[in-house]
Structure 1
Amino acid sequence: MFKALLINKTDEAGYRCALTELDEAQLPATGDVTVQVAWSTINYKDGLAITGQSPVVRSFPMVPGIDFAGTVTASSHPRWTVGDQVLLNGFGVGESHWGGLAQMARVKGDWLVALPAGLSARDAMAVGTAGYTAMLCVSALQRHWADNDMAPGRGEVLVTGANGGVGSVAIALLAGLGHKVVASTGRPQEAGYLKSLGAAEVIDRGALSAPGKPLQKERWMGVVDSVGSHTLANACASTRYGGAVAACGLAQGMDLPASVAPFILRGVTLYGIDSVMAPMAKREAAWATLANTLDRQQLASITREIGLADAVAVGRDILAGQVRGRLVVNVNA
């Protein structure tokens, strides 16, 4: 038997997520690798799944959790053997396939990434999908800047949704690369926290969240946006000639009330960043870079640990914007 969060949806009880005990025989039969989970995490999408505020869960019952890290206990996959340390992000886990907010998981071996040397399972989940997505965003911007001869110091880089997991890690990564980072947040009282990560300036999200002009004063050489909607439109409208925007989220909304003007008059590039189905080579490169460059003390400063039993309440908190940084879940606590 093992502990897990389990989501059920019935006509009688409605939508419900609760801590329960399951038998190993109940794990999905479609997986070829069984993992004893050590750590998981809570992301925005996990909050949606736990609360049912958005229909991210595709089938019921479902164990949520789009991330986990742990040890292989059984495998019929040629790449993995018992004792291997692995992690997983995305591939529909926690949405259409049982996920990581449990003490055990059974998944397809093709979805797993070897835990990078020097990175603990706990640190991997402190990074989680949010940090891995931030790395994909930063990598896209770096490639763009290299192709366009835009070195650090040539302009400011905007990070929206700065207090969230993606934003926090993006600030740390970009500042570490020598960029002047401007953090946009709806919680100005967190300015000290954001500056401790490397933000040079903190602005109120209200400056970006309302409808704006199709073209605005050029400011950003690059943007990491996890908010979408008017915020993303305004970020594009104020990006400098030849700059780039990496979009990875929709906290404000999935609409994009924008104009083509920034793209055809200033040569701005908009990169869509998908972390769920990203190719394995891109995943492994992102995780290797994170393991080699992310400051562990800084990572610890943005991370809070909770137990599996706390995850339901925290899922509600993250949607309410009451969580900063990263949350790691000790599934065995």
Structure 2
Amino acid sequence: MTGTFRAIRVSKGEKAPQVEFANLTEADLMEGDVTVAVDYSTVNYKDGLALTGAAPIIRNWPLIPGIDFSGKVEKSDNPNFKPGERVVLNGYGVGEGHNGGYAQKARVKGDWLVKLPEAISNEHAMAIGTAGYTSMLCILALEKNGVTPDKGDVLVTGAAGGVGSVAIAILAKLGYRVIASTGRASEADYLKGLGAAEIIDRGELSGPAKPLGKERWAAAVDCVGSHTLANVLSMTKYGGTVAACGLAQGLDLPGSVAPFILRGITLAGIDSVMAPMAKRVEAWKRLATDLDMKKLDAMSVRAKLDDVPKLGQEIIAGQVRGRVIVDVNA
């Protein structure tokens, strides 16, 4: 159909969002000064929430979900972007309050876009996605707080998920000894292939935490929250840092101030949605040098736009390993 493009559009339903495939025109897009021909998107936990209605993520109805996309600039009224330039978008409320990446076209504010480093293809950009970009923000926070490989092990929780998988690959390449926590024992070989030196069962961390536990790791990347985060903090070595970026187990933190006061632990909160542009550019620059693209390929699967609603359900159920690259034009 001339002048139309394909998209997933979600409308408000009585019990759950109504997900449909639609042929739209540019008139259906929201305000912005840059129009992007989208090549790829991905499926993050937050996308699963939007597609299934498991949490009230969507703020405008109807909406094109998808918090990430990569593509080429098609039209621009923003002086910082020219047609043909390759760009990536993560967060800024896209896929929540503004039309997102599950479409062949997107119109957004240029201030939300990052120009992709030469070493990262549009496809790899979505193998990375918000999950991988968040992983890099976590690692930058650990480095800022003086966590170096000689300080000791680094724990990664929710290890088989997107954030966890990329974090393991980057940390291993940077020379850290990585402990991976997962509830999926069958993923041990996969995690070791990414660079994990040791696998522990998430059950060791998912129950109520002691105020202080045995010191086991110098730092951690936590994607889980709740009791898991409380346990991670209680077992972090003196002066260590925990980067917290997820809430798969819950929003609560049923722990103690003891690790902070008696061991000088730092809890670094990681926000990927509204992170300042300087941090985003630094994270993508580091991803270009510190992430082994072969390992990224090993943790990635390919999908079409048609597959996205089912994948949304699977990621909420904890059934998606690693990263999903969605070719919106396939």
Aligned to 2:19: 17
Aligned to 1:244: 241
**Which structure 2 residue ranges, 5 or more long, are not aligned?**
none
- Residue 12 of structure 2 aligns with an amino acid whose one-letter code is K
Give the Å deviation of 1:154: 2.7
Aligned to 1:39: 40
Pair 1:5 & 2:2 matched:
no
C-alpha contact (below 8 Å) 2:217/2:235 kept by paired residues: yes
Aligned to 1:66: 67
SS in 2 for 1:209: coil
C-alpha contact (below 8 Å) 2:174/2:290 kept by paired residues: no
Give the Å deviation of 1:84: 1.3
Deviation string for 1:101-120 (max 9, x for gaps)? Answer: 11000000100000111210
Distance in 2, matches of 1:295 and 1:51, equals: 33
Give the Å deviation of 1:17: 1.3
Distance in 2, matches of 1:177 and 1:81, equals: 35
Distance in 1, matches of 2:310 and 2:120, equals: 28
Deviation string for 1:181-210 (max 9, x for gaps)? Answer: 000000011000000001000000000001
Deviation string for 1:92-137 (max 9, x for gaps)? Answer: 0000000001100000010000011121000000000000000000
Distance in 1, matches of 2:202 and 2:190, equals: 16
C-alpha contact (below 8 Å) 2:63/2:99 kept by paired residues: yes
**Count of paired positions:** 327
Pair 1:263 & 2:260 matched:
yes
Distance in 2, matches of 1:157 and 1:26, equals: 46
Pair 1:279 & 2:276 matched:
yes
C-alpha contact (below 8 Å) 2:16/2:53 kept by paired residues: no
C-alpha contact (below 8 Å) 1:153/1:180 kept by paired residues: no
SS in 2 for 1:82: coil
C-alpha contact (below 8 Å) 1:64/1:101 kept by paired residues: yes
Give the Å deviation of 1:153: 3.1
- Residue 268 of structure 1 aligns with an amino acid whose one-letter code is I
Deviation string for 1:273-321 (max 9, x for gaps)? Answer: 0000000000000001101221111110000000001000000000111
Aligned alpha-carbon RMSD (Å) = 1.0
- Residue 65 of structure 1 aligns with an amino acid whose one-letter code is G
**Which structure 1 residue ranges, 5 or more long, are not aligned?**
none
Pair 1:107 & 2:104 matched:
no
SS in 2 for 1:218: coil
Q: Percent identity?
A: 61
SS in 1 for 2:150: coil
Distance in 1, matches of 2:143 and 2:244, equals: 14
With the length of structure 2 as denominator, give the TM-score of the two structures: 0.97
With the length of structure 1 as denominator, give the TM-score of the two structures: 0.97
Deviation string for 1:227-270 (max 9, x for gaps)? Answer: 00000000000000000000000000011101100000000000
Give the Å deviation of 1:172: 0.6
C-alpha contact (below 8 Å) 1:18/1:312 kept by paired residues: no
* CA shift in 2, pair 1:14/1:135, >3 Å: closer
Distance in 1, matches of 2:144 and 2:171, equals: 13
Moved over 3 A (4+): none
